[in-house]
């Protein structure tokens, strides 16, 4: 028997055992299967089983609108796999930028600007970098030559690396909540070499290469 002749309940059961690409392809085979990406209950099941941690699934659980988010997930995955964006636009002019978890963080004219592109937010969070550093790191107040590098963004928390060269080279990890305009921590680092940072809403961890091995490379 053709799958097109199966009852709705059986088709929805079969779909639960397909990967995301197969669900997408099946929905495109004929008009009969277009409901796979438009029916809310099926979309909810697919998102929660196949991509529960995706931004689209999180948004769908908050808005209770699963089918639009499922279609957005398909478009995003297809755009990444084909290296062909389905939407292109100039959203900012920046000296340096970071795009994480659907949020664009960029620096322009000594200000850090944060724009949530995933949720199409039209207003930005603006942070004065000099004021931020003065509050977070006392040693930065006398430093005119420094580097400020964006590292990671998640759950309204921004992590940055601050490095100044005079009177001695030193680095700090600056972590702050952008929405609450609140410094969370700013530890001085033994080294900022190849630093990485990850966080959720409760925990943050980071790592650097602080020592040299027998081959004179940092470890």
Which residue range is the domain that position 123 belongs to?
96-207
- The answer on 49 and 110 residing in a single domain is no
- The answer on 68 and 27 residing in a single domain is yes
Which of these, 19, 140, 150, 40, lies nearest to 95 by C-alpha position?
Answer: 150
- The answer on 169 and 100 residing in a single domain is yes
- The answer on 196 and 143 residing in a single domain is yes
Which of these, 147, 87, 152, lies nearest to 114 by C-alpha position?
Answer: 152
- pLDDT tens digits for the chain (219 residues)? 677 778 878 888 888 889 989 999 989 888 888 888 899 999 999 999 999 988 899 889 999 999 999 999 998 888 877 777 766 667 677 889 999 988 999 999 889 999 998 877 778 999 999 999 999 998 888 777 889 999 999 999 999 999 987 777 889 999 999 999 899 999 999 888 899 999 999 999 999 988 777 777 767
- The answer on 188 and 104 residing in a single domain is yes
**The total number of structural domains that make up the chain:** 2
176 near 162, Cβ under 8 Å? no
Provide CB contacts within 8 A for 175, sequence distance 6+. 157, 158, 159, 160, 183, 184, 185, 186, 197, 199, 204
92 near 106, Cβ under 8 Å? yes
- The answer on 123 and 52 residing in a single domain is no
- The answer on 184 and 107 residing in a single domain is yes
- The answer on 117 and 71 residing in a single domain is no
Residue 219 forms part of a structural domain: no
């Amino acid at each position: 028997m053709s799958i097109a002749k199966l009852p709705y309940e059986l088709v929805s059961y079969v779909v639960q055992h397909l990967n995301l690409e197969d669900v997408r392809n099946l929905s495109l085979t004929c008009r009969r299967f277009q409901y796979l990406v438009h029916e809310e209950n099926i979309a909810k099941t697919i998102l929660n089983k196949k991509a529960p941690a995706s931004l689209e699934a999180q948004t769908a659980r908050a808005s209770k609108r699963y089918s639009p988010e499922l279609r957005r997930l398909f478009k995003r995955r297809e755009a990444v796999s084909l290296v062909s964006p389905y939407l292109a636009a100039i959203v900012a002019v920046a000296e340096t930028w970071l795009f994480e978890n659907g949020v664009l963080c960029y620096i322009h004219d000594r200000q850090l600007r944060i724009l949530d592109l995933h949720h199409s937010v039209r207003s930005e969070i603006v942070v004065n970098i000099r004021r931020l550093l003065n509050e977070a790191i006392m040693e930065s107040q006398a430093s005119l030559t420094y580097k400020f590098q964006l590292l990671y963004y998640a759950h309204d928390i921004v992590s940055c690396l601050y490095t100044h060269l005079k009177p001695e080279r030193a680095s700090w990890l600056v972590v702050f909540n952008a929405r609450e305009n609140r410094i969370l921590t700013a530890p001085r680092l033994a080294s900022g070499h190849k630093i990485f940072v990850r966080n959720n809403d409760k925990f943050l961890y980071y790592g650097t290469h602080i020592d040299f091995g027998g081959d004179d490379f940092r470890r």
